[in-house]
Amino acid sequence: MKITHCRSCGGSRLQVILNLGDHPVSNALLTPEEVDKPEERFPLAIVFCRDCTLLQVNETVPAEVLYRAEYPYFSSSSPALLEHAAEIAESLIVDRKLGRNSFVVEVASNDGYLLKNFVKHGIPCLGIDPAKGPAESANSIGVPTLNKFFNSAMAKKLAQKDGLLADVMIANNVVAHVDAINDFVAGFASMLKPAGIAVFEFAYAVDLIQNCEFDTMYHEHLFYHTLHGLTPLFARHGLYLNDVKRLPIHGGSLRLFVSRDRKKSRTLMELLRHEKALGVDQSGWYETFADRVSSLRDSLVAMLRAEKARGKRIACYGAAAKGSTMINYLNLGPGFFDFVVDANPHKQGKFMPGQKIPISHPDRLTADQPDFVLMLVWNFAGEVLRQQRAYRQAGGRFIIPIPAPRIVEPAEITGESPFALGNLHPAFRAKHAASSEIVNP
What is the per-residue pLDDT for 275? 96
pLDDT in tens, 246-296: 998 777 899 999 999 999 999 999 999 999 999 999 999 998 999 999 999
Residues contacting residue 247 through CB under 8 Å, at least 6 positions apart: 201, 253, 254, 255, 441
Residue 202: in which H helix or E strand, if any? strand 192-203
The model's pTM is: 0.82
Residue 70 binned pLDDT confidence (cut-offs 50, 70, 90): low
Angle (nearest 5°) at CA 69 between 64 and 74: 110
Question: What value does the mean pLDDT of the chain take?
Answer: 89
Domain formed by 289-432, architecture: 3-Layer(aba) Sandwich (3.40)
Environment class of 248 (CB within 10 Å of its CB; exposed 0-12, middle 13-18, buried 19+): middle
pLDDT over 70 percentage in the chain: 92
Q: Amino acid identity, residue 245? A: K
Please check the confidence at residue 105 and state whether its pLDDT lies above 50: yes
Report CA dihedral (2, 26, 208, 434) to the nearest 10 degrees: -130
Domain boundaries, the chain: 289-432
- Residue 433, judged by CB atoms within 10 A of its CB (0-12, 13-18, 19+), counts as exposed
Position 427 confidence tier, pLDDT thresholds 50, 70, 90: very low
* Mean pLDDT within 27-54: 93
pLDDT per position as a tens digit, 33-44: 999 999 999 999
Output the DSSP codes for 282-312.
SGGGGTTHHHHHHHHHHHHHHHHHHHHHTT-
**pLDDT above 90 for 422:** no
Phi, psi of 294 (to 5 degrees): -60, -40
Q: What percent of the chain has pLDDT over 90?
A: 75
- Spatial distance between the Cα atoms of 227 and 272, rounded to a whole number of angstroms: 7
Q: What is the DSSP letter of 404?
A: S
* 27 vs 215, higher pLDDT: 215
Grade residue 429 by pLDDT with cuts at 50, 70 and 90: very low
Average pLDDT score over residue span 390-401: 96
Q: How far is CA 344 from the centre of its chain?
A: 17
pLDDT at res. 329? 96
pLDDT category, 56, cuts 50, 70, 90? Answer: very high
How far separated are the first and last CA of the chain, in Å rounded? 34
Q: What angle do CA 79, 84, 88 make, to 5 degrees?
A: 150
- Residue 177: is its pLDDT beyond 90? no
Separate counts of helices (H) and strands (E) for the chain: 15, 18
Mean pLDDT of 291-312: 96
Beta partners for residue 340, in sequence order = 316, 359
Which residues are 197's β-sheet partners? 168
Parallel, antiparallel, or unpaired: how do β-strands 314-317 and 372-375 relate?
parallel
Sequence-separated contacts (24+) of 382-391 with Cβ below 8 Å: 382/414, 382/415, 382/416, 382/417, 383/78, 383/79, 383/80, 384/317, 384/318, 385/414, 387/362, 388/317, 388/362, 390/366, 391/365, 391/366
Predicted pLDDT at 268: 97
* Band (72; pLDDT cuts 50, 70, 90): low
Residue 433 binned pLDDT confidence (cut-offs 50, 70, 90): very low
- The pLDDT of 172-198, averaged and rounded, is 94
**pLDDT in the model for residue 420:** 45
pLDDT at 73: 64
Q: Where does residue 182 rank: exposed (0-12), middle (13-18), buried (19+ CB within 10 A)?
A: middle
Predicted local confidence at residue 387, as pLDDT: 92
Q: CB of 202 within 8 A of CB of 173? A: yes
Residue 428 has pLDDT above 60, yes or no: no
Residues 123-147 have a mean pLDDT of: 93
- Phi, then psi, of 35 in degrees rounded to 5: -65, -30
